[in-house]
A and B are shown apart, each in its own frame.
Chain A
């Protein structure tokens, strides 16, 4: 079983839609959860990060962590064509260095 699973999509939505992106994980040692956005042939760009469970909101973006289900989500409200990118979840364990474990990424296209 992979440590971090993410549906690769592709996901296509109309402009203005609410987008839900998800990752599941198998290792309960993960405590730090990040979402990155990656445009084609560019480096990942940090969007959001949370520690342990709960929600965090930043503008149109909301990150949720449900540790009991080992499930994390990123919601994008009022999606824009400029949100079209690949979204990567990443996780870090509490006690073992600073290695990030990435999902495979979900490709999102927002259609004008």
Chain B
């Protein structure tokens, strides 16, 4: 099973601040995803990233959010001007060649105060 690490494990920020969440796949993959899980709620798709560009995004992924792969390895999710309702676990997932196989990282817990 492919390994994915995410940093930081927990981020506390004040409302209105910008945060950058990082995902580091251990090996090369083509597809990357960000999902969000608000406490007690379901995992929700945010965005998929293929070949260095966004391939699909949900309604949640508005102008407040952006993704990039700045150095060819790390995959980042930037949230500008955070809101209280952005508090959630954010999971990065990677996909191998198989269509079913999305593997999730351990998540970053974002707390906006």
Contact = CB atoms under 8 A, between A and B. Distances in A.
Interface of A: 32, 34, 36, 41-46, 49, 51, 88, 90, 92, 96-105
Interface residues of B, number: 27
Contacts, number: 63
A101 B41 CA distance: 13
B91 A41 contact: no
A98 B103 contact: no
A85 to B, nearest CB: 14
Interface centre among A46, A98, A104 (most CB of B within 10 A): A98
Contacts of B102: 34, 46, 98, 100
18 contacts: A32-B99, A32-B100, A41-B89, A42-B106, A43-B91, A44-B104, A46-B1, A46-B103, A49-B101, A51-B100, A90-B43, A97-B55, A98-B99, A99-B56, A100-B33, A100-B102, A102-B43, A104-B41
A99 B33 CA distance: 9
A104 B100 CA distance: 19
B95 interface: yes
Interface string B79-113: 00000000001010001000111111111010000
Interface string B52-94: 0001101000000000000000000000000000000101000
Contact of A92 (B43, B55, B100, B104): B100
B44 interface: yes
